[in-house]
Amino acid sequence: MTNIINYASAAAIPVFITIIILYGLKEKVKVFDTFLEGAKEGIEIVFKMLPTLIGIFLAIGALRNSGIIDFIVKLITPLTNLLQIPSQIMPLAMLRPISGSASIAVAVDIMQNYGVDTLTGLIASTIMGSTETTFYTIAIYTSCVGIKKTRGILLAALAADVAGMIASVVICRILS
């Protein structure tokens, strides 16, 4: 059964590309020219997003290296202890909406220090699966389409992230 799944997954993309080419030929579309036009548009989108990406990466680097995250964690530790939320996941909770790579690094660090089968490790894993890199996603999508007013989008997305994080803690506590 595993061999069939491996074969199907390896063949999926070439089969899909072949179907697209055959359909294009049937409809008398210049497939390669259409592909080149799409590639050109893709490069233009990358150039439009580049300033946003540079700004986000700069802000993430400054945040991680400044020590402000550790300071905030120390400030809110009494509250997290009262709510029975492991304070070790707070850096992940703060970085997850901002950066996928930074949050992966923090999650890996949590797994290495506390283990994958601990409550802290389970909560970290669940947070990674139930939340999004909100600022990054909003910045990329809104800059591509030219949307300037993102306040409503940002509030709704951050509320969803908070809900995902709270649900992660509650569900992991119930199931462990």
Categorize the per-residue pLDDT at 89 as very low, low, confident or very high, splitting at 50, 70 and 90: very high
Q: Across all residues in the chain, what is the average pLDDT?
A: 87
Examine residue 97 and state whether it is found in any structural domain, yes or no: yes
Predicted confidence (pLDDT) at residue 135 exceeds the cutoff of 80: yes
Examine residue 133 and state whether it is found in any structural domain, yes or no: yes
Separation of alpha carbons 39 and 93, rounded Å: 36
pLDDT at 60: 73
Examine residue 11 and state whether it is found in any structural domain, yes or no: no
What pTM did the predictor assign?
Answer: 0.66
Separation of alpha carbons 107 and 123, rounded Å: 10
Examine residue 85 and state whether it is found in any structural domain, yes or no: yes
Range of the domain at 128: 45-175
| Nearest in space to 102 (alpha carbons), one of 154, 166, 56, 165 | 56
Separation of alpha carbons 132 and 139, rounded Å: 13
Predicted confidence (pLDDT) at residue 170 exceeds the cutoff of 90: yes
Examine residue 74 and state whether it is found in any structural domain, yes or no: yes
pLDDT in tens, 38-80: 999 989 888 877 887 787 778 777 877 888 888 988 999 898 8
Examine residue 9 and state whether it is found in any structural domain, yes or no: no
Element (H, E) at 48: helix 31-66
The total of structural domains in the chain comes to 1
Categorize the per-residue pLDDT at 36 as very low, low, confident or very high, splitting at 50, 70 and 90: very high
